[in-house]
Amino acid sequence: MGESYYIGGKLTSSPNTIPVLFPYTGEVFAEVDIAGTEDQARAADSATAGFSETRLIPAYKRAEILQRIADLIEKNRDRFVEILIHESGKPFRQAHMEVTRAADVMRLSAEEAVRVSGEILTLDSAATGEGYVGYYSRVPSGPILCITPFNYPLNLACHKIGPAIAAGCSFVLKPSSKTPMSALLLGKLVLEAGYPPAAVNVVPCFGDNSETLVRDPRFTVLSFTGSPAVGWRLKEIFPGRRIGLELGGNAPAVIHKDADLDYAARRIAEGAVVNAGQSCISVQRVYIHNAVYDECLKKIMAHMRSFVVGDPRNPETDIGSMISEEEARRAGEKVRQAVMRGARLLLGGIREGSVMHPTILERPSSDMGIYSSEAFSPVITVDQYSDIDEAIQMMNESRYGLQGCIFTNSIDILQKLSAVSECGTLVVNDYPSYRSDAMPYGGTKLSGIGREGPKYLIEEFMERKLIVVKQFASIT
């Protein structure tokens, strides 16, 4: 028997288990029970019942619960760090940062819980509104289905659960089957903080076995972070309801000739290797002005060579393992195919088990998967451009549109890029991997639908309830 999961706030067991592997060694870190279709349906039943309680919790109490969750996350920091290292291969320092961010997300959600407001409407701005007054408030929409990936298993769960609690909604959380341990501990802390047990459901299950949840009509919103193939498929089987999809990208970075090259090179290198490149906004496509190309490329390569690669348990490690040897092998094969198609391997291309060393490819083309699709590995491509219009064209030649960046000191270039860059966020003078947990986060094209960030997801989890009142001329 493995670690139990939560249905209606109660620990629930299953005869079916899955091993959670430490990606760096392949050793079993834990065994976790997997929810079958019957337990998934029970979780939906519980969330539906729990919503009748959560919708009545006043805003200040929701905020208090969220603050307690944040405090409990901090209190359990060491355990979370241990879990994140061993279930995802995340390096020690980056695991600590994820715990910090997760607590921040809960505190941000607490702050937003008491800011939810409505609006008084001027209905008599049209003749049909004469004698009427209107206003709307925001009310919880219903049970929320949250599906999270392996790369930031704690923080991304908080980005969904925090706004759900702030909005007064119940939830079912389906974490990645590769990284369920952090989600199970988070569920335990949500219960300890005082959220109604029926509203708290955490059910690890295989992705291809989760359609029972997705097809359940009682969920009013589906919030999904994961691959484009899975996300767009889920949209098809979740019709007529609200859906948020965060599906990835192949982030472009432009380094103009007026940039601080030392700073830009360092940030590009760092953005390429955080979490072994397993981030939707990891630096992937780098375009450097031809006047500074050679100089800047040398600086990027020097930074990439300086990173410590190896055991994620070592506090000095910069790049740990990818989520599995299979994924590292996939990344290595994409590099090999790119070289066969004419790319020049400048650095790396080395795989040791589940560890992929930082890699730089020059002269990419659109027929290379490492360039046109999401690399999700510590691999970047580099190319040069002659003018900003060419750089814009190169940035935008992608099926994705999540985040991009430019390093420049020109306000004219900034204004032009802000108008025509095809991405959800344009970062100026930092890497495209930048994310503040308070900002609206999401993209265009195949990168998804909607925006995350506590304030913005709370809005998605609530409905506008309009009240229209007929005013009478006299009252007796």
Three-class DSSP labels, 277-293: HCCCCCCCEEEEECCCH
Number of Cβ within 10 Å of residue 470's Cβ equals 7
Calpha distance 282→181 (Å, rounded): 24
pLDDT per position as a tens digit, 287-296: 999 999 999 9
Number of Cβ within 10 Å of residue 119's Cβ equals 12
Residue pair 34/14 in contact (Cβ under 8 Å)? The answer is yes
Catalytic residue among 98, 112, 246, 374: 246
Half-sphere exposure of 71 (CA within 13 A, CB side): 10
Residue pair 361/346 in contact (Cβ under 8 Å)? The answer is yes
Residue pair 181/204 in contact (Cβ under 8 Å)? The answer is no
Residue pair 243/253 in contact (Cβ under 8 Å)? The answer is no
| Active-site residue, 280 included | yes
Tokens of 287: 């375009």
Amino acid making up residue 343: A
Q: Which residues have CB under 8 Å from 89's CB, separation 6+?
A: 22, 23, 24, 276, 312, 320, 321, 322, 323, 354
pLDDT per position as a tens digit, 414-435: 999 999 999 999 999 999 999 9
Q: How many residues does the chain have?
A: 476
Q: What would you measure as the largest C-alpha separation in the chain, in angstroms?
A: 88
Tokens of 3: 């670690």
Confidence at residue 473, expressed as pLDDT on a 0 to 100 scale: 66
Residue pair 388/256 in contact (Cβ under 8 Å)? The answer is yes
Amino acid making up residue 432: P
Q: How do strand 144-147 and strand 403-407 relate by DSSP bridges? A: unpaired
Tokens of 334: 């994409």
Helix boundaries (H) for 399-465: 411-420, 454-460
pLDDT per position as a tens digit, 3-37: 999 999 999 999 999 999 999 999 999 999 999 99
| Active-site residue, 112 included | no
- Would the pLDDT of 323 be above 60? yes
Q: Superfamily assignment of 252-428 in CATH? A: Aldehyde Dehydrogenase; Chain A, domain 2 (3.40.309.10)
104-130 average pLDDT score: 96
Amino acid making up residue 413: I
Confidence at residue 69, expressed as pLDDT on a 0 to 100 scale: 99
Name which CATH class applies to 5-247+447-466. alpha beta
Where would I find the beta strands (DSSP E) of 153-278? Answer: 171-174, 200-202, 221-225, 242-246, 252-255
Residue 472: pLDDT band (50, 70, 90) is confident
Catalytic residue among 205, 280, 296, 405: 280
Residues of the chain with CATH 3.40.605.10: 5-247+447-466
CA distances from 209 to 34, 79, 206, 412 (A): 10, 29, 5, 51
- Would the pLDDT of 209 be above 90? no
Calpha distance 19→33 (Å, rounded): 9
DSSP 309: B
Residue 476: pLDDT band (50, 70, 90) is low
Average of per-residue pLDDT values in the chain: 97
367-386 average pLDDT score: 97
Residue 207: pLDDT band (50, 70, 90) is confident
Residue 109: name the closest of 58, 149, 70 by CA.
Answer: 70
Residues of the chain with CATH 3.40.309.10: 252-428
Residue 444 C-alpha from the chain's centroid: 15
